[in-house]
Structure 1
Amino acid sequence: RKLKLQIKFAGRSIPVEVPDESSVKDLKCVLHPLTDVLPRGQKLISKGRVLSDELTLASSKLTDGDKVMLIASMGLHQGEAPMKREFPLPISRTTAVSTRGKSEKAVDSAARKRWEATGIIALSDSGLKSIPEEVWSCRDHARVLDLCQNMLHEVPIKISSLHALKKLLLSGNELSIESISWDGLASLKFLTVLQLNRNNLMGLPPTLGTLTSLKQLDISSNNLTNIPNELGFLVELQVLRAQKNRLECVPASIRGCISLVLLLFLRQVDLSYNLLAELPDTFGNLRQLKALYLANNGLKSLPATFFETCSQLSILDLHNTQITADLLRQLAGWERFDERRRLKHQKQLDFRITGSGDFDEGADKN
């Protein structure tokens, strides 16, 4: 029999329907993607009683139509205080209006000559709503285009004219999947760094996989629910930052063995602050992986062969997951990973950076 419950949280009512033989812990897992609160950070209260994880909903005396209050523990709510911004806030609309007259006027000849001489077009924090026409005249001279912290709504097809571009920095704008000319980006065959973080992206197109020279891709702090399978074609990729999105599963391009073989150079992956519940067994095919960040997800375990196959891994961040240190010690290959981790900590200590001899990278001690 299914129960219809009303979950009271943050001033709103969330309707859920779950079997009455489900455990309270199962209910918390159902609420995770609906509230962004990790199961271990949820306290459920009904009729003045705190519900115990191990009990079923029936044995907890919940009935159809009952109201349940959810209280989120500080530090385990993915949408609140624990999320620290790693970059300055985008330019405010008030500031943009006050500087627009200056920043959006025609670029003078001295600036254009400087762009052509250095190959660097620096236009961050300029209050721009569109890319100045003068940029396109740089063509084969431009190596870096920095448009961070503006109010851009569009990246036009003209981006394809910057044939020699190696770094395209677009973080902190108002771009969506529809407003970017992905065909234009696909023409940038020498592009090694692409920053699209802190925009309004709710998806990415398969065209992303044509940027085969990319070494660093930052798509963090958007509203992505998935990443296209074509990610596996980015054969030069070394750093993938996809934290602070709404990803519920690892992209198929990382899960599939064939695509993983192509990702030979991937060394750092950040998937923290998402809605991941598990990692597939084939994740270990990322044999060059050295740093993996999984904090603030709903993970309960790692693949059994994870430490054996990820033989270069030395950094593993599991803060605010349900994975315990005891569980990790039971996995094959733990000892070798722990040795690499301690060696890295020792190197940090040698440079006067504090470290710890015990494993405290987010796994609970109990």
Structure 2
Amino acid sequence: MESSPPTITVQVKFAGRTIPVELPTSASTAELKLLLQPLTNVLPRGQKLICKGKVLADAASLSSMQVGDGSKVMLIASQGLHQGEGPITKNSSGLAPSAKRTSNVKDNQTLKPEIISKSRAERWKITGMQAVPEEVWDCGSSIRVLDVCNNSIEAIPQKIAAVKSLNKLLLTANDISDGGISWEGLSCVDTLTVLSLSQNRLVTLPPSLGTLTFLRELRIANNMLGSLPVEIGLLKQLEILIANNNRITSLPSSIGDCESLFEVDLSSNLLAELPKACGNLHNLKALHLRNNGLNSLPPTLFKKCWRLTTLDLHGTGITNDILRQLEGWEEFDERRRQKYQKQLDFHVGSSGVFDEGADDDNRHA
């Protein structure tokens, strides 16, 4: 039986923690940095490793730098060069964003019984509710917008199916977990075009998300989602997908079937790559990927996504030099510069500094 190669364990000190890392004795500094990425969320090019007062060179073997079993290595992270919401520190919280937010409303505040009105349904936010009032379900088809953001709501029951004419369901900043939504009931509301579930306690989204075929805007930011269901590809009318600040490690290739998408925000996740099918999003105008573990883009992204004008790759492994090597870069660059010039001409949405879209190669620890 073939024996395993000899290994060493290096003790890496970072942000109040000591992280033991086992790796082959022949490993290089670059290999150690790759192993540290998921343990710290710091991108390799944002890591500076120091042992015995010397900075460890990427290409050098650890043994040549006198790093052996039990050696102590200090990691210094460059600001902004991380995946997810930030570097993992000793005091990092595992709570969902909704559990960390503060609220100035009374937990037990109750609503006076009175006849519900459409305008009141739109103003039911920041009232401290723990459940959607029963009178909502009696209102039937008269409600177009239900806004219960910034409360303590834990569940959306099957009764949601009774609100037949609902266009917008806004549930941002509540306490909704995976089992808290009746997706079966929600799928009966075939007028729903906007669904906001940001800042809740969601870990997964069910396949039944794909039944919301009239959805145009889906906001699921600041949860603990690790992935998106394959059935998201059934949302042919989806135009806006906001899923930043989650724990998404990969995207299903079916995302390329969301042919109406023009804005996608996947910033501050744990993505290592994008599926090639992203090149099928021909209507895509804005793609936000800041603070992910990406080192490459789909080769046809610039060529096929011919409307793309906004691309944010800051805090990833993709630099401006890498971008310029992709096919279709020149056309993309021309489009975004024209957009920037229009903003300058009309004094709209521009700080006066042109953003290249990614970090320069010379930005490192």
In the alignment, which residue of structure 2 is the partner of 1:335?
A: 330
**Does residue 6 of structure 1 match 2:7?**
no
Contact 1:323–1:364, Cα closer than 8 Å, also in 2? no
Equivalent residue, structure 1, for 2:133: 132
| Larger relative contact order (Cα-Cα within 8 Å, sequence gap ≥ 6) | 2
Higher helix share: 1
The reply on whether 1:96 has 2:102 as its aligned counterpart is no
Alpha-carbon contact 1:90-1:150 (below 8 Å) kept: no
Structure 2 unaligned runs (5+)? 88-97
Aligned counterparts of 1:198 and 1:48: Cα–Cα separation in 2 = 43
2:279 matches 1:284 = yes
CA distance in 1, matches of 2:304, 2:19: 41
Change in 2 beyond 3 A, CA 1:169/1:63: same
Q: Given the alignment, which residue of 45, 54, 59 partners 1:49?
A: 54
Task: Write out aligned runs for 1:156-167 (5 A).
Answer: 156-167=157-168
Is 278-287 or 192-201 further displaced after alignment? 278-287
Residues 232-271 of structure 1 deviation map (CA, whole Å, 9 limit, x = unaligned):
11111001111111112223322xxxxx2x3211111111
Partner of 2:183: 182
Moved more, 245-254 or 151-160: 245-254
Give the alignment of 1:63-142 within 5 angstroms: 63-77=68-82, 78-80=84-86, 90=101, 92=103, 95-97=105-107, 100-101=108-109, 104-109=110-115, 112=116, 114-115=117-118, 120-142=121-143
8 A contact 2:29–2:59 mirrored in 1: yes
The alignment partner of 2:65 has SS state of coil
Query: Secondary structure of the residue that 1:202 maps to in structure 2?
Result: coil
Give me the whole-angstrom Cα distance separating, in 2, the residues matched to 1:140 and 1:63: 70
- The amino acid that maps onto 2:144 is R
CA distance in 1, matches of 2:320, 2:122: 48
What is the aligned partner in structure 2 of residue 352 from structure 1? 347
Question: Bigger shift: 182-191 or 353-362?
Answer: 353-362
* C-alpha distance in structure 1 between counterparts of 2:318 and 2:300, whole Å: 15
Q: Which amino acid aligns with 1:236?
A: Q
Structure 1 Cα separation of the partners of residues 21 and 209 of structure 2: 36
SS of aligned partner of 1:303: coil
Q: Check if 1:361 corresponds to 2:357.
A: yes
SS for the counterpart of 2:250 is coil
Question: Mind listing any 5+ residue stretches in structure 1 that lack a counterpart?
Answer: 82-86, 255-259
Measured after TM superposition, the shift of residue 120 of structure 1 is 4.4
| Pairwise CA distance, 1:363 | 3.0
- How far apart in 2 are the matches of 1:160 and 1:91? 31
**Which letter maps to 2:37?**
H
Query: Secondary structure of 2:106's partner?
Result: helix
- Say if 1:313 and 1:120 are closer, same or farther in 2 by CA, change over 3 A: same
Aligned alpha-carbon RMSD (Å): 2.3
- The 2-side partners of 1:164 and 1:33 are apart by 45
- What is aligned with 1:257? none
Q: Give per-residue Cα distances to partners, 1:49-88, cap 9 Å, x unaligned.
A: 222222233333322333322222222345359xxxxx9x
C-alpha change, 1:60 and 1:280, in structure 2 (3 Å) is farther
Distance of 1:5 and 1:311 partners within structure 2: 47
Deviates more, 1:120-129 or 1:54-63: 54-63
Aligned match of 2:245: 244
Contact 2:283 2:306 in 1 (8 A): yes
Shift of 1:139: 1.1
- 1:215 to 1:282, Cα distance in 2 relative to 1, 3 A: same
Equivalent position of 1:25 in the other structure? 30
Residue 186 of structure 1: how far off its partner (Å): 1.8
- The C-alpha deviation readout for 1:203-258, integer Å capped at 9, x for no partner, is 1111111111110111111111111111111111001111111112223322xxxx
> For residues 283 and 361 of structure 1, do their structure 2 counterparts lie closer, same or farther at Cα, with a shift above 3 Å needed?
same
Distance in 1 between residues matched to 2:71 and 2:292, nearest whole Å: 28
The answer to whether the aligner puts 1:310 opposite 2:305 as a matched pair is yes
Q: Point out the more displaced range, 194-203 or 274-283.
A: 274-283
For 1:338 and 1:357, the matched residues in 2 are separated by: 15
Worse overlay, 144-153 or 280-289: 280-289
Deviation at 1:152, TM superposition (A): 1.2
What TM-score do the two structures reach when normalised by structure 2? 0.87
Q: Give the conservation status (yes or no) of the 8 Å contact 1:91–1:127.
A: no
How much does 1:361 deviate? Answer: 2.1
Q: Is the 8 A contact 1:119 1:144 kept in 2?
A: no
Task: Tell me, in whole angstroms, the C-alpha distance in 2 between the residues paired with 1:130 and 1:357.
Answer: 46
* Structure 2 residue matching 1:69: 3-state secondary structure: strand
Is residue 200 from structure 1 mapped to residue 196 from structure 2 by the alignment? no
Cα distance, 1:91–1:363 mapped onto 2, change above 3 Å: closer
How many residues in Structure 1 have an aligned counterpart in Structure 2?
344
